Amino acid sequence: MHIAEGFLPPAHAVAWGIASAPFVVHGVRSLTREVREHPESTLLIGASGAFTFVLSALKLPSVTGSCSHPTGTGLGAILFRPPVMAVLGTITLLFQALLLAHGGLTTLGANVFSMAIVGPWAGYGIYRLLRRLDVPLMVAVFFGAFVADLSTYCVTSVQLALAFPDPSSGFLGALGKFGSIFAVTQIPLAVSEGLLTVLVMRLLVQSSKGELTRLGVFLARKQSGTRTAESAETTAATKTSETTETVVR
């Protein structure tokens, strides 16, 4: 859920904007460097942004029977990495505010912090951790998407609780209030998004190995089992497929 336009007091809106700025600036710098070195990346990153925008517009059946839309932050972070997601997420949120009236401009900083920074980093962190522990790919993808979705809503609850502390029990009471309201809808939705992300990833692994390799989702691993740090190019992955086993990071 996006925090609606004008929902946060001015001081909070500015503070969340300042909190988001370093991450977005870092993302912008890495994106600018990437585009300068490889001008053709502009189109691929733009396509990734469009994919993220469209993904967030898909209607997702919740396990409780209701219907909502995925945040797409987990899949986006796994595919495009969190720094790029900070920029793509900001662009997507700006488009959603101006084209769909979802979210807002004064709450852009807060929404970027929850959806484009904390969600992707938390989801990506869990995904990488589970992959390091040799957990099967699809299990790691599920938990990556689940945590990304859930952490987004946890941060949103914190943001709302800070802005609107409970008259009786203060911040903690408000956190419990907003958190429990979100929990009813968002835990089932996070499960749904995790399941959907697994299904999408399964199809992508089958049909788009080239693109996933280009994005660096696939890594080459020597037969001895030691992992190399560099992502393999599509051609390199094909050439070395007999001597190396391609695994997913």
Partner 1 sequence: MLPIDAAAHSSRWRHRHPVDKAVLGLGLTVLAISLPPWPGAALVLVTALVVMLGPAAVPGRRLWRAYRVPLGFCVTGALPLLLQVGGPDGFVTLAAGGPTRAGELLLRTSAASLGVLLFAFTTPMSDLLPRLVNAGVPAPVVDVALVTYRMSFLLLDSVRRIREAQAARLGHTTRAATWRSLAGLGATAFIRAFDRATRLQAGLAGRGYDGTLRVLVPEARVSARFTLAAGALLAAVAALTFVLERALR
Q: Report 53-82 residues binding partner 1 (CB under 8 A).
A: 53-55, 57-58, 60-61, 75, 79
Q: Does 158 bind partner 1 (CB under 8 A)?
A: no
Q: Does 114 bind partner 1 (CB under 8 A)?
A: no
CB 70 within 8 A of CB 196: yes
Closest CA to 156 of 136, 129, 177: 177
Q: Does 43 bind partner 1 (CB under 8 A)?
A: yes
Q: Does 106 bind partner 1 (CB under 8 A)?
A: yes
Looking at the Cβ atoms of 72 and 244, the one nearer to partner 1 is 72
Token pair listed for 70: 């995925």
Q: Which of 17, 62, 64, 105 binds partner 1 (CB under 8 A)?
A: 105
Closest CA to 73 of 61, 54, 56, 59: 56
Least separation in angstroms between CB 92 and partner 1 = 8
Instruction: Express the helix, strand and coil content of the chain in percent, nearest 5 each.
Output: 70, 10, 20
Number of residues that bind partner 1 (CB under 8 A): 74
Looking at the Cβ atoms of 54 and 129, the one nearer to partner 1 is 54
CB 220 within 8 A of CB 236: yes
Q: Which range binds partner 1 by CB under 8 A, 95-103, 112-120, 227-235, 238-246?
A: 95-103
Give the Å distances, CA to CA, from 68 to 113, 123, 185.
21, 20, 9
- List of residues 6+ apart from 70 with CB closer than 8 A: 55, 56, 58, 60, 149, 189, 192, 193, 196, 197
Q: Does 23 bind partner 1 (CB under 8 A)?
A: no
Q: Which of 183, 204, 236, 247 binds partner 1 (CB under 8 A)?
A: 204
Residue type, 214: R
Q: Which of 6, 21, 227, 245 binds partner 1 (CB under 8 A)?
A: 6
Q: Which of 85, 102, 189, 232 binds partner 1 (CB under 8 A)?
A: 102
